[in-house]
């Protein structure tokens, strides 16, 4: 989880009270590697004021990205489902 993650400490390295200029905590974009479309989507939403804390889950991931398993929509999903 990068800079914002420090074991069980809420807020991680930057602290629980950290907020950026947008008023948001560090937004964690999942993925390894992170999909560039997701980075662009999040930056666009933040810069236009379209993202609030309500759009984030408990670990500061956008619901629009982390709401589904990465396997949904994958052409190989049938193999994942039968594991």
- pTM score, two decimals? 0.70
Please count the structural domains in the chain. 1
Residue pLDDT, tens place only, 16-62: 888 989 999 988 888 778 889 999 999 999 999 999 999 998 888 89
Q: Supply angle C-alpha 57, 20, 24, rounded to 5.
A: 25
> Residue 66: pLDDT band by 50, 70, 90 thresholds?
confident
The answer to whether residues 77 and 83 touch, using CB atoms and an 8 Å cutoff, is no
- Domain region containing 22: 2-81
Nearest-angstrom CA–CA distance, 67 and 65:
6
Whether 1 has a pLDDT exceeding 50, the answer reads no
């Amino acid at each position: 989880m990068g800079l914002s993650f420090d074991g069980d400490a809420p807020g991680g390295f930057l602290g629980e009270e950290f907020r950026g200029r947008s008023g948001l905590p560090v937004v964690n974009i999942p993925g390894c590697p992170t999909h560039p479309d997701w980075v662009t989507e999040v930056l666009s939403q933040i810069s236009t004021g379209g993202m609030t804390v309500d759009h984030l889950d408990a670990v500061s991931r956008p619901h629009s990205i982390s709401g589904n398993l990465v396997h949904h929509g994958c052409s190989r999903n049938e193999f994942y489902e039968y594991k």
